Structure 1
Amino acid sequence: MADLDGTSRRDEDEVCPICKSSRYLNPDMRFLINPECYHRMCEACIDRLFTSGPNSCPVVGCKKTLRKNRFRTQTFEDISVEREVDIRKRVMGILNRREDEFDSKLDWDNFLEQRETMIMNLVTGTDVAKTEADLRKYEASNLDSIRANKMRETQESSSFLEQQSFEQEQARLRRMAARDEYEREHRDLLASREETLSKLASGRPSDAASIAREGQKILLKKSSARRSEEERLRQKQASLRGEKSKKQSLLATAVADADADAEPSLIKGLKKVSIPEPEKPYDPFGGLEPGRRDYYVLQDHYPSSWLEQARNNATFAAGGFDVKEYYSRTLLEAFAGLGCFIDDEVTKRENAKKASIATKGAAQQAATVRASDDVF
């Protein structure tokens, strides 16, 4: 009886609720579902009812408007699992925050719990209107950050696949390179040995040591050339990895910029995004103003009898002497010490010296007490 019940239930599932056609009579029938209501119907009824445009669901009691382009093949056998998977995918596509965007692990766990609660509300039909309203409001106010996080996720998945294929290709190339290197070294060794033997056979006995040294130098030169080529390849791979990390940091910056403009009220515990100040132009003087004078005003002329000759004689000007430059330097040296307070500097230095002496004395006393305890 159980088998008969199971068979009748399967037969009922394989019957279109609209045209009552059975797959038993038409094995080529294909059933599709729409994520609006998840009612199964055959492809012929879908073409007949929804080709001309949107239409209401033909199932009795369902008033939802369906469109032909939304119909798709059912993935899971249980339609409730199919519906939960679609809801979970939609909610997680909107609430796609990442752990590094939260202040603490507790805030991240609270966000995961909040997201799971909203998914269960939609699956079980609890507070559906409020949950949908919260999702729409959050999506409208955080559209830029949602897009940026989707871009980061896509980039990470593609980078992972690229990294896997790259590592596999590199392993294959390393194996081939190791095999080629071994064969090349073996050939070079044999060629060098034959060349050395031919030179020894044609040369004089006194030239044996020099011929051996020359062959060794050739082998060392070839091995150093191979090592430099390997080092160049490693540097190139490191630069490629640096470019990938730079792209990921740019995506993270895009997420931060999007969060700076949005004010999410649904999610709590997000990090406060602080936009860095623009870098100031380079100041070669370190904040000092060359023409600044705090304690005096430079005049164009100062009466001085012994400067009259330098002021009126063209010979001094031809040699590069400038009276105004002399005025500026003299007044700067005269007022240079007004901003320095020697007593305060000496007091600070003496206090620091006393503190260091006291620290050393305490350390010596502690060492003495420890030594006496060890003796007893």
Structure 2
Amino acid sequence: MASRENGTPRRDEDEVCPICKSSRYLNPDMRFLINPECYHKMCESCVDRIFSSGPNACPVIGCKKTLRKNRFRTQTFEDIGVEREVDIRKRVMRILNRREDEFDSKLDWDNFLEQRETMIMNLVTGVDIAKTEANLRKYETSNLDSIRANQARESQEASSFLEQQSFEQEQARLRRQAAREEYEKEHNELLAGRESFLSRLAAGTADDATNLAREGQKILLKKSSARRSEEDRLRQKQAALRGESKKSALGKTALLSGAGDSDVEPSLIKGLKKVSIPEPEKPYDPFGGLDLGKKDYYVLKDHYPSQWLEEARKNTTMAAGGFDIKEYYSRTLFEAFAGLGCFIDEEVAKRGGASETFGMRKGIATQGAAQQAVTGKPAEDIF
């Protein structure tokens, strides 16, 4: 017997439980459930009777899959094939949840989408199921951190969207309420002003009428300017609130995006960006590592005998100008001994020789000096 629901005809087998053969015709409140392990449909009474005590095999003939009661649910789509494909698609996309900003190019992103769709269709149509499931398990095991990070980002984006949507709805409601209150207030003020205006006209003269008209114009100008300023204030406040919500959402997304394991590229997906953690910035050193207080070749004393220094020490004018005799000692000795410890031969050898730097032949300067020492004549200018 076929029945109709919302204008769609139902087949007789859709109205009868394949286990207990109960019909919806005799029991209109019957509810059918399915399990994503095998997608065999049975009534709720059979599910309670067979699986209440624990996991059990599917009672449908030929199906040997073990089912659990907590996984039974109501069928969403009328076609069980569509129901199965949707579940497979959700499961695969929950694992292969890479995002476009994780790939080096648009081509790599398109290749990833095609690869994911191919795996989904393989599971739906039953092609290379074992190999596809093995690849999914291997990828999920090796990229668990990035999968969880992307899932957290998706949930954060969804919650941010809902918050933004509710915020906009609340703002729209407040604007409507403010506009309604403003209209009622202006209407009441208009009626009160009209009555006052008429009463003053009735009791006054022609000059009073002119003054009343001027006062009315001033009041209208004040109201319009106050309304515009209030609208500007509301717009600025809403813009500031939107900016704060966007900043907070971006900050949370940035924190979540850094929680993945993108530094290791999985073998299943190609073209992912390799993200490395930057080294912490070193503190700024204006002297490039030079230690001005290091004294390897001299000892700084408090006094050195010198006639000029004695005059400078006793001259109060120089001291008032900022001259410090100890600072002079330190800088003079530092500059005098600054070249010690620098070996020119080693530096020249490292640079490949100063003559080679300027394109000169090796030993040309030494040969010129030797010629001048023997002959007594100056050598020709090599430059």
Question: Same-fold call, TM > 0.5?
Answer: yes
CA distance in 1, matches of 2:305, 2:214: 85
Cα pair 1:33 1:40 within 8 Å, conserved: yes
Deviations 1:49-78 (A, max 9, x none): 111111111222211110000011111222
CA distance in 1, matches of 2:238, 2:62: 63
Q: Secondary structure of 1:32's match?
A: strand
1:33 CA displacement? 0.9
- Where in structure 2 are the equivalents of 1:147-158 lying within 5 Å? 147-158=148-159
- The structure 1 residue matched to 2:306, chosen from 301, 304, 328, is 304
Cα pair 1:36 1:66 within 8 Å, conserved: yes
CA distance in 1, matches of 2:289, 2:183: 62
Cα pair 2:57 2:67 within 8 Å, conserved: yes
Say which is worse superposed, 258-267 or 175-184, in terms of deviation.
Answer: 175-184
- The structure 2 residue matched to 1:268, chosen from 252, 267, 270, is 270
CA distance in 1, matches of 2:27, 2:322: 109
Query: How well do the aligned residues superpose, as a CA RMSD in angstroms?
Result: 4.8
1:238 CA displacement? 2.7
Q: Secondary structure of 2:53's match?
A: coil
- Residue 310 and residue 180 in structure 1: after superposition, are their counterparts in 2 closer, same or farther (change >3 A)? same
CA radius of gyration, larger in: 2
Deviations 1:63-97 (A, max 9, x none): 11100000111112221111111101111111111
- Residue 181 and residue 45 in structure 1: after superposition, are their counterparts in 2 closer, same or farther (change >3 A)? closer
Cα pair 1:152 1:248 within 8 Å, conserved: no
Q: Which has the higher helix share?
A: 1
Query: Which position in structure 2 is the counterpart of 1:40?
Result: 41
Q: Give the letter aligned to residue 51 of structure 2.
A: F
Query: Which position in structure 2 is the counterpart of 1:25?
Result: 26
Q: Secondary structure of 1:161's match?
A: helix
- Residue 42 and residue 215 in structure 1: after superposition, are their counterparts in 2 closer, same or farther (change >3 A)? closer
Deviations 1:293-321 (A, max 9, x none): 9x999665543123235558999989976
CA distance in 2, matches of 1:272, 1:112: 19
Query: Which position in structure 2 is the counterpart of 1:239?
Result: 240
Q: Give the letter aligned to residue 98 of structure 2.
A: R
Query: Which position in structure 2 is the counterpart of 1:79?
Result: 80
- Residue 10 and residue 192 in structure 1: after superposition, are their counterparts in 2 closer, same or farther (change >3 A)? closer
Deviations 1:92-143 (A, max 9, x none): 1111112222221111111110001100111111111111111112112222
Cα pair 1:141 1:262 within 8 Å, conserved: no
Q: Secondary structure of 1:258's match?
A: coil
1:236 CA displacement? 3.2
Q: Give the letter aligned to residue 93 of structure 1.
A: R
- The structure 2 residue matched to 1:324, chosen from 326, 332, 347, is 326
CA distance in 2, matches of 1:269, 1:101: 9
1:23 CA displacement? 2.8
Cα pair 1:49 1:55 within 8 Å, conserved: yes
For normalisation by structure 2, the TM-score amounts to 0.67
Query: Which position in structure 1 is the counterpart of 2:280?
Result: 278
Q: Give the letter aligned to residue 117 of structure 1.
A: T
Q: Give the letter aligned to residue 61 of structure 1.
A: G
Cα pair 1:38 1:83 within 8 Å, conserved: yes
Query: Which position in structure 2 is the counterpart of 1:348?
Result: none
Q: Number of matched residues?
A: 326
Q: Give the letter aligned to residue 97 of structure 1.
A: R
- Residue 214 and residue 97 in structure 1: after superposition, are their counterparts in 2 closer, same or farther (change >3 A)? same
Q: Secondary structure of 1:45's match?
A: helix
1:323 CA displacement? 1.4
Query: Which position in structure 1 is the counterpart of 2:57?
Result: 56
Q: Give the letter aligned to residue 255 of structure 1.
A: S
CA distance in 2, matches of 1:192, 1:286: 79
Q: Secondary structure of 1:259's match?
A: coil
CA distance in 2, matches of 1:198, 1:303: 107
Query: Which position in structure 2 is the counterpart of 1:248?
Result: 249
Cα pair 2:263 2:274 within 8 Å, conserved: no
Deviations 1:303-347 (A, max 9, x none): 3123235558999989976311233466789999xxxxxxxxxxx
Cα pair 2:104 2:272 within 8 Å, conserved: yes
CA distance in 1, matches of 2:194, 2:289: 70
Q: Give the letter aligned to residue 309 of structure 2.
A: L
Unmatched segments (≥5 aa) in structure 2: 1-9, 339-383
Q: Give the letter aligned to residue 149 of structure 2.
A: A
1:44 CA displacement? 1.6
CA distance in 2, matches of 1:150, 1:178: 42
CA distance in 1, matches of 2:217, 2:298: 78
Q: Give the letter aligned to residue 157 of structure 2.
A: E
Deviations 1:228-287 (A, max 9, x none): 554443343233323332333222442233134654221111122233443455678999
Q: How much identity, in percent, do the aligned residues show?
A: 81
Say which is worse superposed, 185-194 or 119-128, in terms of deviation.
Answer: 185-194
Say which is worse superposed, 161-170 or 98-107, in terms of deviation.
Answer: 161-170
Unmatched segments (≥5 aa) in structure 1: 1-8, 337-376
- Residue 215 and residue 17 in structure 1: after superposition, are their counterparts in 2 closer, same or farther (change >3 A)? closer
CA distance in 1, matches of 2:305, 2:195: 97
- Residue 199 and residue 141 in structure 1: after superposition, are their counterparts in 2 closer, same or farther (change >3 A)? farther
- Where in structure 2 are the equivalents of 1:1-376 lying within 5 Å? 10-181=11-182, 229-249=230-250, 250-260=252-262, 262-281=264-283, 301-308=303-310, 322-328=324-330
Q: Give the letter aligned to residue 271 of structure 1.
A: K
